[in-house]
Amino acid sequence: MDQAQERDRATEPRRRNRRSREAVSEALVEAAATLASEQGSGHVTVRDIAARAGVNATFVHRYYGSKKNLMRAAMQRAQERLASRIDEVPDIAEGAAAVFRATLQERELIATLTRAALDGVFGDVPASNPAMAVLVERFEREAAARGGGRHDPRVVVACLSAIAVGYALLGDYIRHGTGLDCHSADEVETMLVAVLRDVARLAFPE
């Protein structure tokens, strides 16, 4: 076997195991979101993210330009995932349970956003929020179809978002502080959904 063949055999496993650009990008985004929620974005390094993703650190700069851009991509991805879940809800008011539980499934995103704001890493935490935009659009469209509502749909969405985000972050603390820890987490979520459904209806006429 000549030297060229030996070289080809030595590099064959690496070629076979090489991940696509899409796979590497996805791994980096997931690693960035996970680490930021665990440690705070200000304490996570590019090397940390790359190590968690199982790639060389140079890929962060090659694909995203900077850690900040990668963190933005991680947040955007999770927001879009939540937005698609909200958009699938047939009735936005009656679908309060689905929206609330979809939000709770994005605890990682919420923790990342909160830590980024507290760390001061992003002086301009992304203003665009696909999930909230979808909620506002759904409520505005439904309110217009019903001839207007009792409250501005944007305010209703702000209230719903504040409740869902706050509970996603501090659910155990809230249950204990309000004396609801005698109930299971599922029971409390069901009770909260009933209240959220009433709040959602404030966007529509009585």
Statement: residue 1 has pLDDT above 60: no
CATH number for the domain harbouring residue 131: 1.10.357.10
* Residue % of the chain over a pLDDT of 90: 14
pLDDT confidence bin for 174, thresholds 50/70/90? very high
Structural domain includes residue 83: yes
Number of structural domains, the chain?
1
The C-alpha angle with vertex 124 and arms to 106 and 129, in degrees rounded to 5, equals 40
- Residue 75 belongs to domain spanning: 3-201
pLDDT per residue as tens digits for the range 26-64: 889 888 877 876 766 667 888 999 999 899 989 988 988
pLDDT over threshold 80, residue 8: no
* pLDDT tens per residue across span 158-169: 998 899 889 988
* Inside any domain, residue 168: yes
Say if residue 70's pLDDT is above 80. yes
CA dist 145 and 69 (Å) reads 39
Work out the average pLDDT over 107-136. Answer: 70
- Considering the entire predicted model, what is its pTM? 0.67
pLDDT exceeds cutoff 50 at 13: no
Residue 134 lies in a domain: yes
Domain presence at residue 144: yes
Domain assignment of residue 19, yes or no:
yes
Letter string b/e over residues 46-74, b meaning 16 or more CB atoms within 10 A of that residue's CB: bebbbebbebeeebbeebbeebeebbbbb
pLDDT of residue 15: 44
Say if 18 falls within a structural domain. yes
DSSP symbol at 181: G
Residue 206, domain member (yes or no): no
Give the confidence band of 66 by pLDDT, cuts at 50, 70, 90: confident
User: Is residue 102 domain-resident?
Assistant: yes
